[in-house]
Amino acid sequence: MEVPSLQGLGLETGVLTKEKQKEIAKRGQSLTIGVPKEASPDERRVAMAPAGVAMLVANGHNVLIGEGAGSGANFSDTEYADAGAEIVASASQLYSQASLIVKVGPPTAEEVALLQERQVLISALHLGNTSPDFLRKAIELGVTGLGFEFIRDSDGSLPIVRMMHEIMGSMAVQIAARYLESGEDGRGIMLGGISGVPPSNVVILGAGVIGEWAARTALGFGAHVIVLDNDLGALRSMEHYLGRGITTAMATPQYISQALLTADVVIGAMMSAGNRAPVVVTEDMVASMRDGSVIVDTMIDQGGCIETSQPTTHSDPIMRRHGVIHYAVPNMPSNAARTATYALTNVLVPYVLKIGDAASVNEALWMDVGLRNGTYVYRKHLTKKSLASMFGIPHRDIELLIASGI
């Protein structure tokens, strides 16, 4: 039986209220993101591809691109403009207007002078070449500095480092193959050999990402591959994924010395995350190698893991010590600039969006472990113990700084 007093009472007019919902203010901030043309010699990469710019603009951010910034990677200013970026002619104008700078290489001395107070800087740091003057300047300005080498997610991975290291591992073997040729005054041999002629010996120091991709590429050439590392678990993992076609051994001085006696190629890939690379090959070991053999030290931007290595450039890439060809270009992926730029974009854009989605940089660092781990300078303090030890600068724990609001 229906209750008479409720007959004909519609939900829209009787039961539901007519109050208008209050709009909730959108969280986050609109960033002005500067992507300068790289000033370092022979650096062809750019930190952001046009597709990444379009994504940032679609999320309400302003993007400033240095004029000609993408030319080395074959991205035109027109492509960036079509993606919504503003093309800026001078570096000084870009730095003065941007709240956040994203670049590939560490700032040059000229770029350090352009940094603004409380600016956010995301770039590589290159631990082997970092200067205390740069760190002190960043501290003085209250810059929030995030280094590619330090950005580590909750699963322990280093996403930006990994992307670049995949490229470096593959390129290291391709480079070594070229310098083994007679035209480059190498030993005049092929990596893979041919029928009736044995393959060359490739010794890879380090079973990390660079070592893995170097081993994959060397196996593809048909070379005999030896991988040495002090981490037995990493060696087991490499054998699991690449099969027993590779030979593994612990990276003791005895094993390294023995392997180098017959090595045609040595790939230096021993790293210590967030620290200078360990030197595992001494000058005496290099002197024992055969004339015309090739060393590619992929860790030169972290100081190098071969004692005889010295930084070289793409325009003058090799040097010889004890008859051995040394290739030690810090920005090796620059020679695959377009691939490397896309790789950087894939990783960097989500991090920049997280900063923009937060109400402040402080909140972004607190909410995201990758950004927090990546910070080496914050609120006028150095936050990395490894850098403090290298340069004798006091440091503070990043989590305490964020929580305290100092």
The 10s digit of each residue's pLDDT in 174-188 is 999 999 999 999 999
Q: Evaluate if residue 27 carries a pLDDT over 90.
A: no
Confidence (pLDDT) at 301: 84
Confidence of residue 274 (pLDDT cuts 50, 70, 90): low
Residue pLDDT, tens place only, 365-394? 999 999 999 999 999 999 999 899 989 999
pLDDT at 12 > cutoff 60? no
Whether residue 129 is found in the same domain as residue 37: yes
pLDDT for residue 279: 95
Residues 194 and 102 in one domain: no
Are residues 271 and 340 located together in one domain of the fold? Answer: no
Total domain count for the chain?
2
Q: Average pLDDT, whole number, for the chain?
A: 91
* pLDDT over 60 at 4, yes or no: no
pLDDT digits (tens, 9 = 90+) for 187-225: 999 999 899 999 999 999 999 999 999 999 999 999 999
Lowest mean pLDDT among 162-166, 198-202, 269-273: 269-273
pLDDT at 130: 84
pLDDT score, position 209? 94
Q: For residue 13, what pLDDT is reported?
A: 40
- The residue segments making up the domain with residue 276 are 165-330
Residues 288 and 342 in one domain: no
Co-location of 326 and 366 in the same domain: no
Q: Which residues contact 61 (CB under 8 A, 6 or more apart)?
A: 30, 31, 32, 33, 352, 356
**Domain identity same for 242 and 130:** no
Report, as residue numbers or ranges, the catalytic residues.
126, 301
* Residue 22: inside a domain: no
Is 3 contained in some domain? no
Q: How many CB atoms lie within 10 A of CB 29?
A: 17
Per-residue pLDDT, 302: 86
Strands in 224-229's sheet, in edge-to-edge order, are 246-250, 224-229, 201-205, 265-268, 294-297, 324-327, 318-321
